[in-house]
Amino acid sequence: AQSVTQLGSHVSVSEGALVLLRCNYSSSVPPYLFWYVQYPNQGLQLLLKYTSAATLVKGINGFEAEFKKSETSFHLTKPSAHMSDAAEYFCAVRGNNNDMRFGAGTRLTVKP
């Protein structure tokens, strides 16, 4: 069965600093991996997805993620944090039934 684990329920960075949100996956088949962002009182918005075409995936708002099979990881990064990046971020893997299996989420706080 497919699953993901997000390391760190809360991450705090200063504006302009590197953002690194960690996600490790478990899958018996080549995984389809996703990162979603949820702003307060809003629905989930897709940031980026990995579908085996390229290991480094670029998404919206300057975010990117690298698929590392040897580490079973799909960490999300952004070189320079903006105040507007404050939100909750969810890593997800597509399940056998095409459902989305989400991690517990990481709340990102950006300090001025």
What is the chain's Cα-based Rg? 13
Spell out, one character per residue from 18 to 37, where the chain touches another protein: x when CB under 8 A holds, - when not: --------------x---x-
Which one, 76 or 81, has the nearer CB to another protein?
76
Question: Binding to another protein by residue 46, rule CB under 8 A?
Answer: yes
Please enumerate, as own/partner, the contacts of 40-46 that have beta carbons within 8 Å and a separation of 24 or more: 40/87, 44/90
- Residue 49: partners with Cβ closer than 8 Å, 6 or more residues away: 32, 33, 34, 35, 57, 59
- What would the two tokens of residue 41 be? 């009182």
Spell out, one character per residue from 66 to 105, where the chain touches another protein: x when CB under 8 A holds, - when not: ------------------------x-x-xx-xxxxxxxxx
φ and ψ at residue 85, rounded to 5 degrees: -80, -10
Q: How many residues bind another protein (CB under 8 A)?
A: 22
Question: Binding to another protein by residue 63, rule CB under 8 A?
Answer: no
Cα(100)–Cα(44) distance, integer angstroms:
12
Which one, 74 or 90, has the nearer CB to another protein?
90
Which amino acid, 93? V
Which one, 19 or 92, has the nearer CB to another protein?
92
Q: Which residues bind another protein (CB under 8 A)?
A: 32, 36, 42-46, 49, 51, 90, 92, 94-95, 97-105
